[in-house]
Structure 1
Amino acid sequence: MADDNPGFSDPVTLFQDVEDLKAQIARLTGLIDRLTAGGGDDPAGPGDGDTGAPAQDADAEGEEEDGYPPFILLLDSPAYDEELRALIEWVEGVLVPGYLAEPSSDAHWCHLWFEHPVAVGRLHALWLAWQELTEPATCGYTGPSTWHRDHLDPCMRELRGRGGPFGGCTKNEHQIAHRQPSLVPSAWRMAES
């Protein structure tokens, strides 16, 4: 009776949805197990390194109450510098050699990507998702596929596209100010004239 349920007519999409739900349930089950096993006043605990992130104490500077690292653009020095060093290590050690082909006119990349705040923000978000979705205990078998489809591909399209933060950078020239918008006169002020 596939005709009665038009939303289920595509078995591949249905399978992907079921697998995503299984991965979410596995993550939630792992979180519930960690929270109930702690037994102390701090239910978040140190996380036992199960997010794929570098092992740190739950009370470490820059870490929020729930045990997850904060978004890099919300950090101040020295926490920002420490998180950026870890991000650079991941980008240069995993992302660049494994996923980035030679830059071209259609796929830009800047070797000084860490000087582009937009790139730092996007790559940090990509890295956080990678840490969560490549941990077998919490993501199941579909985590890496979900990371590629939902995180890597859209991030690379935004970063490496013609209008992305590296759009003005070439192999021999680095520009961080090329994305600054020029001043546009306010429509209200023009109407007053």
Structure 2
Amino acid sequence: MSDEPDDVPQMDVPVGMFEDIEDLKAQIASLTTLVKKLAGGDDAEPGETSAEAEETAGGEAAAEDDAEEEWQYPPFILLLDPPEYDDELRALIEWVEGVLVPGYLAEPSADARWCHLWWEHPVAIARLHAVWLAWQELTDPVSCGYTGPSVWHRDHLDPALRELRGSTGPFAGCVKGEHQIDHRLPGLVPSAWSHEN
């Protein structure tokens, strides 16, 4: 006969749950240590914090918020005004001429156009800047692992080059050294951005 009562439910706990519980315990211990440190050490009563610790914590949080906001909105070139626009364009030109042109752009042809004055085409600037922003993020193994460059090629570079170098792209009127920027100027398009209330 068993010593256990008949009404005890069967509890099958997955083994992985014990590891999760241990991880949670370690995180709680770490947070408890951090709270004690911010509260002024082990001598402080629970709930007491020094004014200096509060100021330091508030200052650090504000600095972290500012840093997060800066990175939350990348500096897309079309949204910038001079002199920030000029600085960003200068950096983009350096990247396109130093990395993209020698590494990825073969001789221009009727099927694969390229304009040697590409920075005079606003559509080209916008697309190349977007590709450059993605390149900055996806070529850093720390933030994106080792598959980042492959993702950059597949999702960013290849589609952008198809659009830029295609027969209907921004370089459609630029053929072998001849430059034409007025070939694709659209008429006035109504926009919520251009209308005043």
Give the alignment's TM-score, normalised by structure 2: 0.61
Displacement of 1:39: 3.9
Structure-2 change in CA distance of 1:68 and 1:135 (3 Å):
farther
Displacement of 1:78: 0.7
Displacement of 1:69: 3.5
Kindly indicate whether structure 1 or structure 2 has the higher relative contact order, using CA contacts under 8 Å at least 6 residues apart.
1
Displacement of 1:172: 2.5
SS of 2:64's equivalent in the other structure is: coil
Displacement of 1:68: 5.0
Give the alignment's TM-score, normalised by structure 1: 0.63
Residue 103 (structure 1) aligns with: 108
Residue 166 (structure 1) aligns with: 171
Q: Kindly report the root-mean-square deviation, in angstroms, between the aligned alpha carbons of the 2 structures.
A: 2.2
Q: Does the 8 Å contact 1:114/1:120 carry over to 2?
A: yes
Displaced runs of 4 or more, over 3 A: 44-47, 64-69, 181-184
Residue 123 (structure 1) aligns with: 128
SS of 2:183's equivalent in the other structure is: coil
1:153-176, Cα deviation, whole Å (9 max, x unpaired):
000000000000001001221011
Matched, 1:43 2:48: no
Displacement of 1:141: 1.1
Displacement of 1:124: 0.2
SS of 1:137's equivalent in the other structure is: helix
Q: Does the 8 Å contact 1:71/1:124 carry over to 2?
A: yes
Q: Where do 5+ consecutive residues of structure 1 fail to align?
A: 1-37, 48-63, 185-193
Q: Where do 5+ consecutive residues of structure 2 fail to align?
A: 1-58, 190-197
Using the alignment, how far apart are the partners of 1:44 and 1:140 within structure 2? 25
| Aligned with 1:179 (options 160, 184, 190) | 184
SS of 2:124's equivalent in the other structure is: helix
Question: What number of residue pairs does the alignment pair up?
Answer: 131
Structure-2 change in CA distance of 1:183 and 1:121 (3 Å):
closer
1:140-191, Cα deviation, whole Å (9 max, x unpaired):
011000000000000000000000000100122101110123689xxxxxxx
